[in-house]
Structure 1
Amino acid sequence: MNPVCVETGNSPIVLAQPHSGTWLPHDVIEALEPAARELFDTDWRIPELYEGLLPDATIVRATFNRYVIDANRPPDDASLYPGQNTTSLVPLTDFDAKPIWRQEPDAAEITRRKSQFHAPYHTALAEQLARVKAQHGFAVLYDCHSIRSHVPYLFEGELPVLNIGTNSGTSCSPAIESAVEQACATSAFTHVLNGRFKGGWTTRHYGRPAENIHAVQMEIAQSAYLAAEEPPFTYSPDKAATLRDTLAAVFAGIESTFGDL
Protein backbone atom coordinates (compact mmCIF):
# COMPACT_ATOMS: atom_id res chain seq x y z
CA MET A 1 0.00 0.00 0.00
CA ASN A 2 1.16 3.52 -0.76
CA PRO A 3 2.15 5.12 2.57
CA VAL A 4 0.61 8.46 1.64
CA CYS A 5 -2.55 9.50 -0.18
CA VAL A 6 -2.61 12.93 -1.83
CA GLU A 7 -5.66 14.75 -3.17
CA THR A 8 -4.63 17.98 -4.87
CA GLY A 9 -6.68 21.15 -4.84
CA ASN A 10 -6.27 24.80 -5.74
CA SER A 11 -6.96 26.36 -2.34
CA PRO A 12 -4.05 27.89 -0.39
CA ILE A 13 -4.98 25.49 2.45
CA VAL A 14 -3.38 22.07 2.79
CA LEU A 15 -5.03 19.62 5.18
CA ALA A 16 -2.52 17.23 6.74
CA GLN A 17 -3.84 14.02 8.29
CA PRO A 18 -0.90 12.12 9.80
CA HIS A 19 -2.71 9.95 12.35
CA SER A 20 -5.95 8.76 10.74
CA GLY A 21 -4.43 5.78 8.94
CA THR A 22 -5.26 2.25 10.08
CA TRP A 23 -3.08 0.15 7.77
CA LEU A 24 -0.46 -2.11 9.39
CA PRO A 25 2.10 -4.22 7.50
CA HIS A 26 1.85 -7.91 8.33
CA ASP A 27 5.15 -7.95 10.23
CA VAL A 28 3.98 -5.07 12.41
CA ILE A 29 0.69 -6.83 13.17
CA GLU A 30 2.60 -9.92 14.27
CA ALA A 31 4.87 -7.89 16.55
CA LEU A 32 2.05 -6.02 18.29
CA GLU A 33 0.35 -7.11 21.49
CA PRO A 34 -3.16 -8.37 20.67
CA ALA A 35 -4.81 -5.51 22.58
CA ALA A 36 -2.77 -2.94 20.63
CA ARG A 37 -4.27 -4.18 17.38
CA GLU A 38 -7.44 -2.30 18.32
CA LEU A 39 -5.45 0.87 17.45
CA PHE A 40 -7.01 2.89 20.26
CA ASP A 41 -4.68 5.85 19.68
CA THR A 42 -5.72 6.45 16.07
CA ASP A 43 -7.21 9.83 15.12
CA TRP A 44 -10.44 8.04 14.32
CA ARG A 45 -12.70 9.14 11.44
CA ILE A 46 -10.82 12.34 10.70
CA PRO A 47 -11.33 11.98 6.91
CA GLU A 48 -15.10 11.66 7.44
CA LEU A 49 -15.19 14.62 9.82
CA TYR A 50 -13.50 16.96 7.34
CA GLU A 51 -15.00 15.55 4.13
CA GLY A 52 -16.45 18.27 1.95
CA LEU A 53 -15.78 21.13 4.36
CA LEU A 54 -13.16 22.65 2.08
CA PRO A 55 -13.71 21.07 -1.34
CA ASP A 56 -10.75 22.74 -3.06
CA ALA A 57 -8.20 22.01 -0.34
CA THR A 58 -5.26 19.71 -0.86
CA ILE A 59 -5.25 16.69 1.47
CA VAL A 60 -2.12 14.78 2.45
CA ARG A 61 -3.04 11.69 4.47
CA ALA A 62 -0.84 8.98 5.93
CA THR A 63 -2.40 5.57 5.27
CA PHE A 64 -0.24 3.77 7.84
CA ASN A 65 -1.10 3.73 11.51
CA ARG A 66 0.91 5.77 14.02
CA TYR A 67 2.04 2.52 15.67
CA VAL A 68 4.10 1.82 12.54
CA ILE A 69 5.78 5.21 12.94
CA ASP A 70 4.47 8.59 14.04
CA ALA A 71 4.44 11.03 11.13
CA ASN A 72 4.00 13.93 13.56
CA ARG A 73 7.25 13.31 15.44
CA PRO A 74 10.68 14.57 14.41
CA PRO A 75 12.88 12.00 12.68
CA ASP A 76 15.52 12.37 15.41
CA ASP A 77 12.82 11.55 18.01
CA ALA A 78 13.52 14.65 20.11
CA SER A 79 10.73 15.17 22.64
CA LEU A 80 8.12 17.73 21.64
CA TYR A 81 7.06 18.20 25.27
CA PRO A 82 10.12 17.88 27.55
CA GLY A 83 9.16 16.94 31.07
CA GLN A 84 5.69 15.72 30.07
CA ASN A 85 4.45 12.25 29.24
CA THR A 86 4.34 11.65 25.52
CA THR A 87 4.98 8.93 22.95
CA SER A 88 7.99 8.47 20.70
CA LEU A 89 8.68 8.32 16.97
CA VAL A 90 7.90 4.61 17.03
CA PRO A 91 5.78 4.40 20.17
CA LEU A 92 6.63 1.73 22.69
CA THR A 93 3.51 2.31 24.78
CA ASP A 94 -0.01 3.44 24.06
CA PHE A 95 -1.68 6.56 25.48
CA ASP A 96 -2.47 4.62 28.65
CA ALA A 97 1.22 3.76 29.18
CA LYS A 98 0.63 0.10 28.33
CA PRO A 99 3.29 -1.70 26.23
CA ILE A 100 2.14 -2.24 22.66
CA TRP A 101 4.83 -4.62 21.38
CA ARG A 102 5.37 -8.32 21.82
CA GLN A 103 8.70 -7.64 20.11
CA GLU A 104 9.93 -4.05 20.16
CA PRO A 105 11.44 -2.72 16.92
CA ASP A 106 15.22 -2.32 17.05
CA ALA A 107 17.24 0.61 15.71
CA ALA A 108 17.58 -0.93 12.25
CA GLU A 109 13.82 -1.48 12.03
CA ILE A 110 13.10 2.09 13.09
CA THR A 111 15.50 3.36 10.43
CA ARG A 112 13.71 1.24 7.84
CA ARG A 113 10.33 2.62 8.88
CA LYS A 114 11.60 6.17 8.68
CA SER A 115 12.68 5.55 5.11
CA GLN A 116 9.61 3.59 4.03
CA PHE A 117 6.86 5.57 5.77
CA HIS A 118 7.88 8.78 7.56
CA ALA A 119 10.02 10.23 4.77
CA PRO A 120 7.51 9.66 1.93
CA TYR A 121 4.74 11.33 3.93
CA HIS A 122 6.81 14.43 4.57
CA THR A 123 8.16 14.51 1.04
CA ALA A 124 4.58 14.59 -0.23
CA LEU A 125 3.57 17.24 2.30
CA ALA A 126 6.55 19.46 1.48
CA GLU A 127 5.88 19.12 -2.25
CA GLN A 128 2.24 20.16 -1.88
CA LEU A 129 3.08 23.13 0.33
CA ALA A 130 5.65 24.27 -2.22
CA ARG A 131 3.13 23.86 -5.04
CA VAL A 132 0.43 25.80 -3.21
CA LYS A 133 2.85 28.54 -2.21
CA ALA A 134 4.05 28.88 -5.82
CA GLN A 135 0.44 29.25 -6.94
CA HIS A 136 -0.73 31.75 -4.31
CA GLY A 137 2.40 33.29 -2.84
CA PHE A 138 1.63 31.69 0.54
CA ALA A 139 0.38 28.42 1.98
CA VAL A 140 -1.61 27.50 5.08
CA LEU A 141 -1.03 24.07 6.60
CA TYR A 142 -3.90 22.89 8.79
CA ASP A 143 -2.94 19.76 10.71
CA CYS A 144 -5.99 17.61 11.52
CA HIS A 145 -5.93 15.62 14.75
CA SER A 146 -8.20 14.05 17.34
CA ILE A 147 -7.82 12.15 20.60
CA ARG A 148 -9.94 10.61 23.34
CA SER A 149 -11.29 13.23 25.72
CA HIS A 150 -9.86 11.48 28.80
CA VAL A 151 -6.26 10.26 28.70
CA PRO A 152 -4.82 10.53 32.24
CA TYR A 153 -1.33 9.54 31.11
CA LEU A 154 -1.16 12.61 28.85
CA PHE A 155 -3.35 15.21 30.58
CA GLU A 156 -5.53 15.70 33.65
CA GLY A 157 -9.30 15.74 33.52
CA GLU A 158 -11.32 16.25 30.37
CA LEU A 159 -9.69 17.80 27.33
CA PRO A 160 -11.33 20.88 25.78
CA VAL A 161 -13.07 19.94 22.55
CA LEU A 162 -11.01 22.27 20.36
CA ASN A 163 -7.28 22.52 21.02
CA ILE A 164 -5.54 25.05 18.79
CA GLY A 165 -1.77 24.75 18.43
CA THR A 166 0.44 27.44 16.91
CA ASN A 167 3.65 26.61 18.77
CA SER A 168 2.98 29.54 21.12
CA GLY A 169 2.22 31.88 18.23
CA THR A 170 5.34 31.20 16.16
CA SER A 171 3.95 28.91 13.44
CA CYS A 172 1.48 31.28 11.78
CA SER A 173 0.58 34.94 11.43
CA PRO A 174 -1.21 36.59 14.36
CA ALA A 175 -4.18 37.18 12.05
CA ILE A 176 -4.62 33.46 11.36
CA GLU A 177 -4.23 32.54 15.01
CA SER A 178 -6.80 35.16 16.00
CA ALA A 179 -9.27 34.08 13.30
CA VAL A 180 -9.09 30.43 14.35
CA GLU A 181 -9.49 31.23 18.04
CA GLN A 182 -12.40 33.60 17.36
CA ALA A 183 -14.26 30.92 15.42
CA CYS A 184 -13.73 28.48 18.29
CA ALA A 185 -14.62 31.03 20.98
CA THR A 186 -17.98 31.76 19.38
CA SER A 187 -18.83 28.08 18.94
CA ALA A 188 -20.75 25.74 21.23
CA PHE A 189 -17.53 23.99 22.25
CA THR A 190 -14.83 24.47 24.84
CA HIS A 191 -11.48 25.51 23.42
CA VAL A 192 -7.93 26.42 24.35
CA LEU A 193 -5.07 28.06 22.49
CA ASN A 194 -1.63 26.49 22.98
CA GLY A 195 -2.71 24.38 25.92
CA ARG A 196 -1.61 20.77 26.32
CA PHE A 197 -1.18 20.46 22.56
CA LYS A 198 0.81 23.33 21.05
CA GLY A 199 1.46 21.64 17.73
CA GLY A 200 3.52 18.61 16.83
CA TRP A 201 6.53 18.36 14.57
CA THR A 202 4.46 19.10 11.47
CA THR A 203 3.31 22.46 12.83
CA ARG A 204 6.71 23.37 14.23
CA HIS A 205 8.73 22.22 11.23
CA TYR A 206 6.67 23.73 8.42
CA GLY A 207 5.22 26.79 10.13
CA ARG A 208 7.44 29.62 8.89
CA PRO A 209 5.40 32.80 8.63
CA ALA A 210 8.45 34.81 7.50
CA GLU A 211 8.61 32.46 4.49
CA ASN A 212 4.86 32.67 3.86
CA ILE A 213 4.03 29.20 5.13
CA HIS A 214 1.62 29.26 8.06
CA ALA A 215 0.74 26.21 10.16
CA VAL A 216 -2.00 25.49 12.69
CA GLN A 217 -2.76 22.24 14.49
CA MET A 218 -6.29 21.39 15.58
CA GLU A 219 -6.63 18.61 18.14
CA ILE A 220 -10.28 17.64 18.68
CA ALA A 221 -11.77 15.62 21.52
CA GLN A 222 -13.35 12.57 19.91
CA SER A 223 -16.37 12.77 22.21
CA ALA A 224 -17.59 15.62 20.00
CA TYR A 225 -18.13 13.47 16.90
CA LEU A 226 -17.89 9.75 17.68
CA ALA A 227 -20.79 7.68 18.96
CA ALA A 228 -18.41 6.40 21.66
CA GLU A 229 -14.67 6.61 22.33
CA GLU A 230 -14.28 2.85 22.12
CA PRO A 231 -14.30 0.20 19.39
CA PRO A 232 -15.55 0.33 16.73
CA PHE A 233 -15.13 4.13 17.07
CA THR A 234 -18.24 4.80 15.03
CA TYR A 235 -18.66 8.19 13.40
CA SER A 236 -21.85 9.97 14.51
CA PRO A 237 -23.18 12.31 11.80
CA ASP A 238 -25.65 13.82 14.26
CA LYS A 239 -23.00 14.66 16.85
CA ALA A 240 -20.58 15.80 14.16
CA ALA A 241 -22.98 18.23 12.49
CA THR A 242 -22.44 21.10 14.92
CA LEU A 243 -18.72 20.45 15.03
CA ARG A 244 -18.53 20.54 11.23
CA ASP A 245 -20.29 23.92 11.29
CA THR A 246 -17.61 25.17 13.66
CA LEU A 247 -14.80 23.80 11.53
CA ALA A 248 -16.34 25.45 8.46
CA ALA A 249 -16.27 28.72 10.42
CA VAL A 250 -12.61 28.10 11.27
CA PHE A 251 -11.81 27.73 7.58
CA ALA A 252 -13.84 30.82 6.71
CA GLY A 253 -11.87 32.72 9.34
CA ILE A 254 -8.58 31.55 7.87
CA GLU A 255 -9.71 32.51 4.38
CA SER A 256 -10.65 35.99 5.63
CA THR A 257 -6.97 36.64 6.34
CA PHE A 258 -5.72 35.81 2.84
CA GLY A 259 -5.70 39.41 1.70
CA ASP A 260 -3.21 40.29 4.43
CA LEU A 261 -0.78 37.39 3.88
Structure 2
Amino acid sequence: MGEVGEWEMFEILEPATQRIPFVFNSPHSGRLYPQSFLDQSRLDAHSIRRSEDHFVDELFQSATFLGAPLLRAHFPRAFLDVNREPYELDPRMFDGTLPPHANISSMRVAGGLGTIPRVVAENMEIYRGRFPVEEALTRVESIYKPYHATLRKLIARTHVQFGMAILIDCHSMPGNVHLSASGQRPDFIIGDRYGTSAAAELSRMAVELLEQLGYAVTRNKPYAGGFITEHYGRPTRGLHALQIEINRSLYIDEATLIKKPGFSALATDLATFIGALARHVEDFAADLPLAAE
Protein backbone atom coordinates (compact mmCIF):
# COMPACT_ATOMS: atom_id res chain seq x y z
CA MET A 1 0.00 0.00 0.00
CA GLY A 2 2.35 2.71 -1.18
CA GLU A 3 1.79 6.29 -2.21
CA VAL A 4 0.07 6.51 -5.57
CA GLY A 5 1.98 8.46 -8.17
CA GLU A 6 0.19 10.40 -10.86
CA TRP A 7 1.62 8.16 -13.58
CA GLU A 8 0.38 4.92 -12.06
CA MET A 9 -3.28 5.63 -11.26
CA PHE A 10 -4.31 3.14 -13.93
CA GLU A 11 -2.84 1.25 -16.86
CA ILE A 12 -3.78 -0.50 -20.06
CA LEU A 13 -2.58 -4.04 -20.57
CA GLU A 14 -2.39 -4.23 -24.36
CA PRO A 15 -2.19 -7.33 -26.54
CA ALA A 16 0.54 -7.43 -29.17
CA THR A 17 -2.29 -7.14 -31.70
CA GLN A 18 -5.96 -6.66 -30.91
CA ARG A 19 -7.68 -9.64 -32.50
CA ILE A 20 -11.16 -9.59 -30.96
CA PRO A 21 -13.72 -6.74 -30.63
CA PHE A 22 -13.59 -6.71 -26.84
CA VAL A 23 -12.42 -4.21 -24.23
CA PHE A 24 -12.06 -5.44 -20.63
CA ASN A 25 -12.28 -3.04 -17.73
CA SER A 26 -11.47 -3.62 -14.04
CA PRO A 27 -12.34 -0.34 -12.28
CA HIS A 28 -12.55 -1.61 -8.69
CA SER A 29 -9.53 -3.90 -8.29
CA GLY A 30 -7.07 -1.13 -7.43
CA ARG A 31 -5.06 -1.76 -4.28
CA LEU A 32 -2.60 1.14 -4.05
CA TYR A 33 -3.71 3.35 -1.16
CA PRO A 34 -2.24 6.85 -0.86
CA GLN A 35 -0.81 7.37 2.60
CA SER A 36 -2.57 10.71 2.85
CA PHE A 37 -5.87 8.90 2.28
CA LEU A 38 -5.09 6.27 4.93
CA ASP A 39 -4.26 9.09 7.34
CA GLN A 40 -7.72 10.58 6.76
CA SER A 41 -9.46 7.27 7.41
CA ARG A 42 -10.79 5.86 10.66
CA LEU A 43 -10.42 2.32 9.24
CA ASP A 44 -7.39 0.07 9.54
CA ALA A 45 -5.44 -0.99 6.46
CA HIS A 46 -7.35 -4.28 6.23
CA SER A 47 -10.90 -3.03 6.78
CA ILE A 48 -10.59 -0.26 4.20
CA ARG A 49 -10.10 -2.94 1.54
CA ARG A 50 -13.60 -4.37 2.06
CA SER A 51 -14.97 -2.68 -1.07
CA GLU A 52 -12.21 -3.86 -3.44
CA ASP A 53 -12.91 -6.25 -6.29
CA HIS A 54 -10.02 -8.33 -5.05
CA PHE A 55 -7.66 -9.56 -7.81
CA VAL A 56 -10.32 -9.30 -10.52
CA ASP A 57 -7.75 -7.72 -12.85
CA GLU A 58 -5.60 -10.84 -12.43
CA LEU A 59 -8.53 -13.18 -13.03
CA PHE A 60 -9.20 -11.52 -16.40
CA GLN A 61 -5.59 -10.96 -17.43
CA SER A 62 -5.85 -13.75 -20.02
CA ALA A 63 -7.88 -11.29 -22.11
CA THR A 64 -4.66 -9.70 -23.32
CA PHE A 65 -3.25 -13.04 -24.49
CA LEU A 66 -6.52 -13.66 -26.34
CA GLY A 67 -6.25 -10.34 -28.16
CA ALA A 68 -8.13 -7.71 -26.15
CA PRO A 69 -6.96 -4.74 -24.05
CA LEU A 70 -7.58 -4.65 -20.31
CA LEU A 71 -7.88 -1.32 -18.49
CA ARG A 72 -7.29 -1.63 -14.77
CA ALA A 73 -7.36 0.87 -11.94
CA HIS A 74 -4.57 1.06 -9.39
CA PHE A 75 -6.41 3.55 -7.17
CA PRO A 76 -8.89 1.87 -4.81
CA ARG A 77 -12.65 2.13 -5.04
CA ALA A 78 -12.78 3.50 -1.48
CA PHE A 79 -10.74 6.49 -2.71
CA LEU A 80 -12.67 7.12 -5.96
CA ASP A 81 -15.39 5.15 -7.71
CA VAL A 82 -15.33 5.54 -11.49
CA ASN A 83 -18.47 3.39 -11.79
CA ARG A 84 -20.53 6.44 -10.83
CA GLU A 85 -21.45 9.70 -12.48
CA PRO A 86 -18.51 12.12 -12.19
CA TYR A 87 -20.19 14.30 -9.56
CA GLU A 88 -22.33 12.01 -7.41
CA LEU A 89 -21.13 13.65 -4.22
CA ASP A 90 -22.42 13.95 -0.66
CA PRO A 91 -22.09 17.57 0.55
CA ARG A 92 -22.04 16.38 4.19
CA MET A 93 -18.59 14.88 3.60
CA PHE A 94 -16.82 18.10 2.63
CA ASP A 95 -15.82 21.52 3.86
CA GLY A 96 -16.81 23.96 1.14
CA THR A 97 -19.51 24.17 -1.52
CA LEU A 98 -20.03 21.63 -4.30
CA PRO A 99 -20.60 22.92 -7.84
CA PRO A 100 -24.27 23.31 -8.82
CA HIS A 101 -24.05 20.42 -11.31
CA ALA A 102 -23.21 17.91 -8.57
CA ASN A 103 -25.78 15.14 -8.13
CA ILE A 104 -26.26 15.20 -4.35
CA SER A 105 -29.55 13.28 -4.17
CA SER A 106 -28.95 9.99 -5.97
CA MET A 107 -29.71 6.69 -4.25
CA ARG A 108 -26.02 5.85 -4.38
CA VAL A 109 -25.07 9.07 -2.59
CA ALA A 110 -27.76 8.40 0.02
CA GLY A 111 -26.25 4.94 0.59
CA GLY A 112 -22.76 6.37 1.04
CA LEU A 113 -21.52 4.97 -2.28
CA GLY A 114 -21.08 8.04 -4.45
CA THR A 115 -18.12 9.01 -6.61
CA ILE A 116 -16.21 9.71 -3.41
CA PRO A 117 -17.57 6.93 -1.18
CA ARG A 118 -18.47 7.63 2.43
CA VAL A 119 -18.50 3.95 3.45
CA VAL A 120 -17.03 0.61 2.53
CA ALA A 121 -18.91 -2.68 2.86
CA GLU A 122 -21.48 -3.04 5.64
CA ASN A 123 -21.68 0.71 6.22
CA MET A 124 -18.21 1.12 7.67
CA GLU A 125 -17.49 4.87 7.68
CA ILE A 126 -14.24 5.70 5.88
CA TYR A 127 -13.34 9.20 7.06
CA ARG A 128 -12.54 10.65 10.46
CA GLY A 129 -14.22 13.91 9.51
CA ARG A 130 -14.91 16.33 6.69
CA PHE A 131 -12.20 17.21 4.19
CA PRO A 132 -11.85 20.06 1.67
CA VAL A 133 -14.24 19.94 -1.26
CA GLU A 134 -11.33 20.93 -3.50
CA GLU A 135 -9.67 17.60 -2.74
CA ALA A 136 -12.75 15.69 -3.89
CA LEU A 137 -13.00 17.71 -7.09
CA THR A 138 -9.28 17.18 -7.75
CA ARG A 139 -9.81 13.41 -7.65
CA VAL A 140 -12.55 13.79 -10.25
CA GLU A 141 -10.48 16.03 -12.51
CA SER A 142 -7.12 14.25 -12.22
CA ILE A 143 -8.20 10.60 -12.07
CA TYR A 144 -11.88 10.05 -12.91
CA LYS A 145 -11.92 12.07 -16.13
CA PRO A 146 -8.63 10.69 -17.52
CA TYR A 147 -9.78 7.15 -16.69
CA HIS A 148 -13.00 7.54 -18.64
CA ALA A 149 -11.23 9.33 -21.49
CA THR A 150 -8.91 6.31 -21.78
CA LEU A 151 -11.84 3.87 -21.70
CA ARG A 152 -13.69 5.83 -24.39
CA LYS A 153 -10.61 5.77 -26.63
CA LEU A 154 -10.24 2.00 -26.27
CA ILE A 155 -13.91 1.47 -27.12
CA ALA A 156 -13.78 3.88 -30.07
CA ARG A 157 -10.62 2.28 -31.44
CA THR A 158 -12.18 -1.16 -31.20
CA HIS A 159 -15.38 0.02 -32.86
CA VAL A 160 -13.46 1.51 -35.77
CA GLN A 161 -11.37 -1.63 -36.24
CA PHE A 162 -14.14 -4.23 -35.97
CA GLY A 163 -17.36 -2.35 -36.66
CA MET A 164 -18.48 -3.16 -33.10
CA ALA A 165 -17.13 -3.00 -29.59
CA ILE A 166 -18.02 -5.17 -26.60
CA LEU A 167 -17.10 -3.80 -23.18
CA ILE A 168 -16.81 -6.36 -20.41
CA ASP A 169 -16.91 -4.56 -17.06
CA CYS A 170 -15.32 -6.90 -14.51
CA HIS A 171 -16.37 -6.98 -10.85
CA SER A 172 -16.70 -9.21 -7.81
CA MET A 173 -19.40 -9.56 -5.17
CA PRO A 174 -19.46 -10.76 -1.56
CA GLY A 175 -19.84 -14.47 -1.01
CA ASN A 176 -23.08 -14.03 0.94
CA VAL A 177 -25.01 -12.56 -2.01
CA HIS A 178 -28.09 -14.62 -2.81
CA LEU A 179 -31.37 -14.27 -4.64
CA SER A 180 -34.08 -13.34 -2.18
CA ALA A 181 -36.83 -15.44 -3.77
CA SER A 182 -34.97 -18.73 -4.23
CA GLY A 183 -32.10 -18.34 -1.80
CA GLN A 184 -29.75 -19.36 -4.63
CA ARG A 185 -26.15 -18.18 -4.32
CA PRO A 186 -24.95 -17.26 -7.81
CA ASP A 187 -21.34 -17.80 -8.85
CA PHE A 188 -21.68 -15.20 -11.59
CA ILE A 189 -24.13 -12.44 -12.44
CA ILE A 190 -24.31 -11.08 -15.98
CA GLY A 191 -25.69 -7.54 -16.05
CA ASP A 192 -26.97 -5.82 -19.18
CA ARG A 193 -29.16 -3.14 -17.59
CA TYR A 194 -32.24 -5.30 -18.17
CA GLY A 195 -31.55 -5.74 -21.86
CA THR A 196 -30.64 -2.15 -22.71
CA SER A 197 -26.81 -2.15 -22.71
CA ALA A 198 -26.14 -5.17 -24.95
CA ALA A 199 -27.84 -7.29 -27.57
CA ALA A 200 -29.91 -10.07 -26.02
CA GLU A 201 -27.96 -12.71 -27.94
CA LEU A 202 -24.71 -11.57 -26.34
CA SER A 203 -26.13 -11.75 -22.82
CA ARG A 204 -27.60 -15.17 -23.46
CA MET A 205 -24.30 -16.42 -24.83
CA ALA A 206 -22.41 -15.20 -21.77
CA VAL A 207 -24.81 -16.91 -19.36
CA GLU A 208 -24.86 -20.14 -21.33
CA LEU A 209 -21.09 -20.40 -21.65
CA LEU A 210 -20.54 -19.92 -17.92
CA GLU A 211 -23.23 -22.48 -17.13
CA GLN A 212 -21.50 -24.94 -19.46
CA LEU A 213 -18.40 -24.49 -17.31
CA GLY A 214 -20.43 -25.63 -14.30
CA TYR A 215 -21.26 -22.31 -12.64
CA ALA A 216 -24.56 -21.01 -11.26
CA VAL A 217 -25.36 -17.89 -13.26
CA THR A 218 -28.10 -15.28 -13.05
CA ARG A 219 -28.87 -12.26 -15.18
CA ASN A 220 -29.42 -8.76 -13.79
CA LYS A 221 -30.35 -9.89 -10.28
CA PRO A 222 -29.32 -8.51 -7.90
CA TYR A 223 -26.80 -6.53 -10.00
CA ALA A 224 -27.85 -5.23 -13.42
CA GLY A 225 -24.79 -3.09 -14.09
CA GLY A 226 -23.66 0.32 -12.90
CA PHE A 227 -22.85 3.65 -14.51
CA ILE A 228 -20.20 2.21 -16.82
CA THR A 229 -22.47 -0.47 -18.27
CA GLU A 230 -25.33 1.98 -18.70
CA HIS A 231 -23.19 4.81 -20.07
CA TYR A 232 -21.21 2.87 -22.69
CA GLY A 233 -23.77 0.32 -23.84
CA ARG A 234 -25.43 1.47 -27.07
CA PRO A 235 -26.33 -1.79 -28.82
CA THR A 236 -28.16 -0.15 -31.74
CA ARG A 237 -24.81 1.48 -32.62
CA GLY A 238 -22.82 -1.72 -32.21
CA LEU A 239 -21.57 -0.71 -28.75
CA HIS A 240 -22.34 -3.43 -26.23
CA ALA A 241 -21.58 -3.45 -22.50
CA LEU A 242 -21.88 -6.36 -20.08
CA GLN A 243 -21.09 -6.35 -16.38
CA ILE A 244 -19.73 -9.57 -14.90
CA GLU A 245 -19.86 -10.11 -11.13
CA ILE A 246 -17.85 -13.01 -9.69
CA ASN A 247 -18.62 -14.46 -6.28
CA ARG A 248 -15.52 -13.82 -4.18
CA SER A 249 -15.97 -17.01 -2.19
CA LEU A 250 -14.91 -18.89 -5.33
CA TYR A 251 -11.37 -17.60 -5.18
CA ILE A 252 -10.42 -15.80 -1.94
CA ASP A 253 -10.83 -16.17 1.78
CA GLU A 254 -12.87 -13.03 2.44
CA ALA A 255 -11.59 -12.73 6.01
CA THR A 256 -7.88 -12.84 5.17
CA LEU A 257 -8.05 -11.77 1.49
CA ILE A 258 -5.72 -14.65 0.64
CA LYS A 259 -6.25 -16.43 -2.66
CA LYS A 260 -7.77 -19.89 -2.45
CA PRO A 261 -6.19 -22.88 -4.20
CA GLY A 262 -8.95 -22.64 -6.82
CA PHE A 263 -7.82 -19.19 -7.99
CA SER A 264 -5.81 -20.49 -10.96
CA ALA A 265 -8.58 -22.85 -12.04
CA LEU A 266 -11.08 -19.99 -12.05
CA ALA A 267 -8.70 -17.84 -14.09
CA THR A 268 -8.34 -20.71 -16.57
CA ASP A 269 -12.13 -21.06 -16.80
CA LEU A 270 -12.41 -17.33 -17.49
CA ALA A 271 -9.87 -17.65 -20.30
CA THR A 272 -11.98 -20.47 -21.74
CA PHE A 273 -15.08 -18.31 -21.36
CA ILE A 274 -13.49 -15.30 -23.09
CA GLY A 275 -12.24 -17.41 -25.98
CA ALA A 276 -15.60 -19.12 -26.46
CA LEU A 277 -17.52 -15.84 -26.25
CA ALA A 278 -15.21 -14.29 -28.84
CA ARG A 279 -15.79 -17.22 -31.20
CA HIS A 280 -19.56 -16.94 -30.77
CA VAL A 281 -19.40 -13.20 -31.45
CA GLU A 282 -17.56 -13.91 -34.68
CA ASP A 283 -20.26 -16.40 -35.67
CA PHE A 284 -23.17 -14.13 -34.74
CA ALA A 285 -21.62 -10.74 -35.46
CA ALA A 286 -24.32 -9.81 -37.97
CA ASP A 287 -26.98 -10.11 -35.26
CA LEU A 288 -25.27 -8.26 -32.43
CA PRO A 289 -25.70 -4.62 -33.51
CA LEU A 290 -29.49 -5.08 -33.43
CA ALA A 291 -31.49 -3.47 -30.68
CA ALA A 292 -31.56 -5.29 -27.39
CA GLU A 293 -34.70 -6.76 -25.90
TM-score, normalised relative to structure 2: 0.79
For the aligned residue pairs, the C-alpha RMSD in angstroms reads 2.6
Q: Distance in 1 between matches of 2:184 and 2:254?
A: 13
Q: Does 2:13 match 1:7?
A: yes
Runs of 4+ aligned residues of structure 1 deviating over 4 Å after TM superposition are 78-86, 155-159
Percent of matched pairs sharing the same residue? 27
Q: Does 2:141 match 1:115?
A: yes
Q: Distance in 2 between matches of 1:254 and 1:86?
A: 37
- Bigger mean CA deviation after superposition, 110-119 or 155-164: 155-164
> SS at 1:219's partner residue?
strand
Conservation of the 8 A alpha-carbon contact between 2:59 and 2:270: no
1:3 is matched by which residue type in structure 2? Answer: M
Q: CA deviation at 1:217?
A: 0.4
Q: Distance in 1 between matches of 2:271 and 2:107?
A: 26
- Bigger mean CA deviation after superposition, 161-170 or 236-245: 236-245
Q: CA deviation at 1:237?
A: 4.5
Residue matched to 1:62: 73
Q: Distance in 1 between matches of 2:54 and 2:111?
A: 21
Q: Distance in 1 between matches of 2:129 and 2:177?
A: 25
Q: Distance in 1 between matches of 2:51 and 2:109?
A: 21
How many pairs are equivalent?
257
1:35-87 Cα distance to aligned partner (Å, 9 max, x none): 36541211111122122255111011111001111011111325886799572
Which runs of no fewer than 5 residues in structure 2 stay unpaired?
89-102, 289-293
Residue matched to 2:157: 131
Conservation of the 8 A alpha-carbon contact between 1:53 and 1:244: no
Tell me: CA distance 1:133–1:159, structure 2 relative to 1, closer, same or farther (3 Å). same
Which runs of no fewer than 5 residues in structure 1 stay unpaired?
none
Conservation of the 8 A alpha-carbon contact between 1:146 and 1:221: yes
Conservation of the 8 A alpha-carbon contact between 2:118 and 2:127: yes
Q: Does 2:98 match 1:73?
A: no
Residue matched to 2:281: 257
Conservation of the 8 A alpha-carbon contact between 1:4 and 1:60: yes
> SS at 2:120's partner residue?
coil
Please give the residue correspondences for 1:194-205 in structure 2 after superposition, counting only pairs within 5 Å. Answer: 194-205=220-231
Residue matched to 1:229: 254
Q: CA deviation at 1:252?
A: 1.2
Tell me: CA distance 1:45–1:158, structure 2 relative to 1, closer, same or farther (3 Å). farther
Residue matched to 2:37: 28
Residue matched to 2:187: 161
* Structure with larger Rg: 2
1:59 is matched by which residue type in structure 2? Answer: L
1:121 is matched by which residue type in structure 2? Answer: Y
Residue matched to 2:53: 43
Q: Distance in 1 between matches of 2:10 and 2:185?
A: 29
TM-score, normalised relative to structure 1: 0.88
